[in-house]
Structure 1
Amino acid sequence: MTPPLFWVDEVPAAGDAVTVSGPEGKHAVTVTRMRKGEHVVLGDGRGTLADCEVVDVSGKDRLTVRASRVEFATAPKPRVTVVQAIPKSDRAELAVDLMTEAGVDAVMPWQSARCVARWNGSRAEKGVAKWRATAATAAKQARRPWIPEITDLATTIDVRDLCSRVAADGGVVALLHEAGATSFRSIDFSTAPEVVLVIGPEGGLDDGELADLTALGGQAVVLGPEVLRTVAAGAVALGALGAVTDRWTR
């Protein structure tokens, strides 16, 4: 089993010792129950990881480690952004968790036309904060070098701008839809510098959204024979994409 991963602001250089405290230190000491002589990995969430040995444990939230090997992991290509229409509140974090474990690079929460959940004012700030916390936790669980970016709540104008830019730059914009005319497996992702997956709410993208984003270079794409829940679609699409590109190197 691979050593557990904990987040720090700055990864120590090889040979240096550092004390992990606060929430990460507490998790290491009281939840994971790390002991002197065991090994952990420290990461900054921006690609740098350090293999470390625990040299001291004190109190309930202080773990001192010494770094040995330090490596930088480049982000996978192509970059993948999922535009995720906001699911119902009790399932929203699950979507982010699954997409993070499946390797998403960025998630853009979107208040699409058919969303039942509504993020307004402070609720939007709280929702984005929860998604970011979920992404950090899921990335740690998955031993990912990179924590995916969670953008602020997007308007349809923001989504249009993203899709237009990626399509103009030679990327792929896939609008996941059960009635899509194009199959996911037929798309050539091999030369795409960037991929955007647009996922509607439980009611799906409405006709106006489909027409608008298609006009900007998007393709209505059917992922497979089953109709997926909005919280699962992103993770399934990321898995399919990893299998047909170099994003999954092992």
Structure 2
Amino acid sequence: MAHFYLVEELASSTVGSDVVVTGPEARHAVTVSRVRPGESLRVGNGRGLVVEGEVREATGDRLVLVAETVTVHPRPARRLVLVQALAKGDRDELAVQAATELGVDEVVPWAAGRSISRWEGPKVAKGIARWQAIVREATKQSIRAYQPEVSGVASTADLVRRAASATVLVLEPTADAALSSVEIDSTGDVEIDSTGDVLIVVGPEGGITPHELEQFRAAGAMAVRLGDSVLRTSTAGPAALAVLSTRLGRW
């Protein structure tokens, strides 16, 4: 079962019904992946619905499969959100790709104070579209039932406002608390609430500024470290997601 395609317009399906894939997804399946009648594949809508079935037709830009199993996957109880600072080169894009494969539910581009890369004017729409494309392809590659959301560019003030209704964990190498020691659903000085989103904030290459750290702390965010080493901005977020996915019982 190596093939998985996203058909966002797929609202529902039943066993025995036809699922029709057209446009770029169908063309990729037929001309690039060379899917042929008789093969099995999966189709999802990125919102929890996954259909598995046998291909009946594969011609040009049209692919038809007969649904053999229809599964609606429940959403996780709590959403994991990666707040990724804009970074130079493709480092932020690498973080977005890996985070999608690891199960992130939302990705937020953050215009941090030390971000070398800047999305301004036409670059905003172009940057978001690029991240959305990365998320979509990573969702297909990892055969995920849910496609993560890519939000608009956030300022530090925007993130501070989100802290009012979410748990915000700021990755900071000098923090006293390790992410692996954060208390979950229990009392203590450091804990993850039982409800609401969990935001993981990752700074750019130069790190998070002292002023930004103070703003986050004042809003109730927690500074945590991953270990004794300092990870790149492209790997810190995915590493934190792996730790939290295990501790929250998602893995």
**TM-score category, normalised to shorter length:** over 0.9
What is the deviation of 1:105? 0.5
Q: In the alignment, which of 165, 170, 174 is matched to residue 169 of structure 2?
A: 174
Q: How does the TM-score come out when normalised to structure 1?
A: 0.92
1:189 corresponds in structure 2 to 184
Give the partner amino acid of 1:175.
Answer: V
Give the partner amino acid of 1:44.
Answer: N
Q: Distance in 1 between matches of 2:231 and 2:87?
A: 13
How many pairs align? 241
1:56 corresponds in structure 2 to 57
1:44 corresponds in structure 2 to 45
What's the CA shift string for 1:182-239, capped at 9, x where partnerless?
Answer: 1111112345323111110011110001011011111110011221110111111111
Q: Percent identity?
A: 39
What is the deviation of 1:3? 3.9
Contact 1:112 1:156 in 2 (8 A): yes
2:216 corresponds in structure 1 to 213
What is the deviation of 1:163? 1.7
What is the deviation of 1:181? 1.5
- Is residue 130 from structure 1 mapped to residue 130 from structure 2 by the alignment? yes
SS of structure 1 residue aligned to 2:90:
helix
Give the partner amino acid of 1:40.
Answer: L
SS of structure 1 residue aligned to 2:165:
helix
Alignment of 1:75-86 (within 5 A): 75-86=75-86
SS of structure 2 residue aligned to 1:164:
coil
What is the deviation of 1:66? 1.1
2:188 corresponds in structure 1 to none
Q: Distance in 2 between matches of 1:128 and 1:36?
A: 36
Alignment of 1:67-216 (within 5 A): 67-166=67-166, 172-190=167-185, 192-193=194-195, 194-216=197-219
What is the deviation of 1:75? 1.9
What's the CA shift string for 1:14-33, capped at 9, x where partnerless?
Answer: 22113212111112112221
What is the deviation of 1:86? 0.6
- Is residue 237 from structure 1 mapped to residue 226 from structure 2 by the alignment? no
Q: Distance in 2 between matches of 1:18 and 1:243?
A: 35
Q: Which runs of 5+ in 1 are unaligned?
A: 167-171
Contact 2:92 2:233 in 1 (8 A): no
The two structures, once aligned, show a CA RMSD in angstroms of 1.3
2:4 corresponds in structure 1 to 5
Q: Distance in 2 between matches of 1:75 and 1:204?
A: 33
